[in-house]
Amino acid sequence: MVGRFYFHFMNTAYDKALYLLSMREHTEKELRKKLSDKGYQKAEIDDAVGKLIAEGSLSEKRFAEAYIRSRLRKNPEGKEMLRLRLREKGTPADISAEALNEAWENEDYVKPLSQYAESLLRKKGESGTVAALLRKGFKNSEIKAALSLLDRDIGE
C-alpha cells in the first residue's frame, strides 16, 4: 500500500523534485538533469523548477552553503578548489563566490582543516602534511591558522 502511494505521489515533475529536495539541496542543473533522466518533458521541468524557485524550495545559495560545509567536514579543500567543484555542479559564479567568501570570512574552514591536519600529521609528519594541504588548495596562512589550533606552527 505504501509503495502505491509513493508511485502515485511521484507522478509530476514538481512532486519528484520536491522529493529529491527533501533528501538534500540540489542545484537547478542537477535537478533538471535528474528530472529529465526520469523522463519528464522539458516544459513540465521548466514549470516545476520555476515554481520551486518562486516558493524558495530550490535555492542555489543554500546548495552552495551546504555543499561547502559538507566538503569542509568530509574532505577539506581550499577555496579555489571548492569554487571549481561548485562550477561543475552548476552553481552560478556570483553565488559560489558569495558563499565561499562568507565561509572564509567566518573562518568556517579552520576547525575542519585543523582536524584533518591532525590526522595527516600522524601519517605524514609536518612537512608531508603541509605539502598535502597545499595540494588541496589551501594557502600557507590558512594552514598556519589550522595548525595553530593544534599548538603547532609551520616551521616549528
* Alpha-carbon span 71 to 105, nearest angstrom: 17
pLDDT recorded at residue 11? 85
pLDDT at 34 over 70: yes
| CB of 62 closer than 8 Å to CB of 99 | no
Does 2 have pLDDT greater than 70?
no
pLDDT tens digits for range 107-150: 999 999 999 999 999 999 999 999 999 999 999 999 998 888 88
Q: Which position has the grid cell 567536514?
A: 73
Tens-digit pLDDT profile for residues 58-76 = 999 999 999 999 999 999 9
Residue 109 burial (C-beta neighbours within 10 Å; 0-12, 13-18, 19+): buried
How far is 26 from 118, CA to CA, in rounded Å? 32
Grid coordinates standing for 106?
567566518
Count of CB atoms situated within 10 Å of the CB of 95: 18
CA 61 to chain centre: 10
Here the cell at position 146 is: 589550522
In angstroms, the CA 75 to CA 34 distance is 25
CB 112 within 8 A of CB 82: no
Instruction: For 5-19, write each residue's pLDDT tens digit.
Output: 444 456 899 999 999
Look up residue 109 and give its three cell numbers.
574552514
